[in-house]
Amino acid sequence: MKKITFLLTLILVAAGVTVVTPQQADAACYVDGNTQYCTTYTANRGNGYYFTNQNRYYTNGRDFQIAQLQAYVDQLQALIDQLRELQSNQGTYPTYPRPSYGNSDVDVTTRSATDIDDEEVTLRGEVDFNNEDEATVYFQYGKSSSNLKYETTHWVLDEDDDDEDFEQGLTDLEEDTKYYYRAVAEDERGREDYGQIYSFTTDDDDRDSDDDYPEVEVEDADDVDENSAELEGEIDMNDFKNGIAFFVYGEDEDQVDDIEDDYDTYSDIDEDGDDLQKIKVDSDVDNKITAYATIGGLDEDTDIYFTLCVEFEDEDDDDRIICAGTEEFTTDED
């Protein structure tokens, strides 16, 4: 364990990072006469890293050995926490209190952005309270995934409201610019949990052809039973041609939501069992069509998410996907 701790320290020093380690790290456990002592170190974060400690004594040899091992584990975990924070922020540090990792009593999930315009967007997230009564939530965002230097307003969600979804609108963004963001939730003791980093690109207000991009709409599912359903939607290619029309569906709402953000072509979409499937309905759409598909092999009494999408080449000859909003149905119970 000492070797691992020493190795992490060397890595951080080689990267030009100031590493603060517990004092007397090699003497975390020691013997004074007939009494055996261990020093338990706790990492704290302010304008840097510092450590508090508490001495405990043991008369049972086995308890002493266990405590000795735990003391070294605590030192290693403190260094890992410091490394994670430095990797996440890469020189941009949040204000005090510094976030802790992996031990928050609430869990947060980042959701896909909606209502994207040239200067505005709506960010979405979802918090799981677990056994907490409330959680403070907000978003971090920026133009680099490694430098989310901006924060939205912090606000408190109460479990009694039975509302785990939250969202925040952003304004005064730069047009035709890619932004990165993630949802953050803080438990009642101030420990934070972070969602996955997502991205969106604001519209280009000067690009006249934006209004003539394909328009995609999807209808409610029909003829739903315990393992199948019929899907329907419409695509208007407007000024573009040679579109590939397809439905995506599955039990994972996030994967369905993120098709046009994560992929540029139909062939690139990776199916993921029950969570995500795709089905092509037309490989050469030039005008306006109504698309149909019957999907089967669904699990009974299960929420299924779906949408209609079209792949096409934009005015810069780049592959692009546009999808309708995500819809949902529940299969019948057998």
Per-residue pLDDT of the chain in tens (334 residues, 90 and over written 9): 444 444 444 444 444 444 444 433 334 565 655 555 565 544 444 434 334 444 555 455 566 566 667 766 766 776 776 666 555 444 333 333 334 445 788 899 998 888 888 899 999 999 988 888 899 999 999 998 888 999 999 999 887 755 588 999 999 999 889 999 999 999 888 899 999 999 888 887 665 444 588 999 999 999 999 999 999 999 999 989 999 999 999 999 999 999 999 999 999 999 999 999 999 999 999 989 999 999 999 999 999 999 999 999 988 888 999 999 889 999 998 7
What is the C-alpha to C-alpha distance for residues 308 and 278, in angstroms, rounded to an integer? 10
Q: Domains for the chain: give ranges and CATH numbers.
A: 2-89 (no CATH), 107-201 (2.60.40.10), 208-330 (2.60.40.10)
Flag whether the pTM goes above 0.85: no
Identify the pLDDT of residue 93. 35
Distance between CA atoms of 93 and 47, rounded to whole angstroms? 9
At 162 the pLDDT is 53
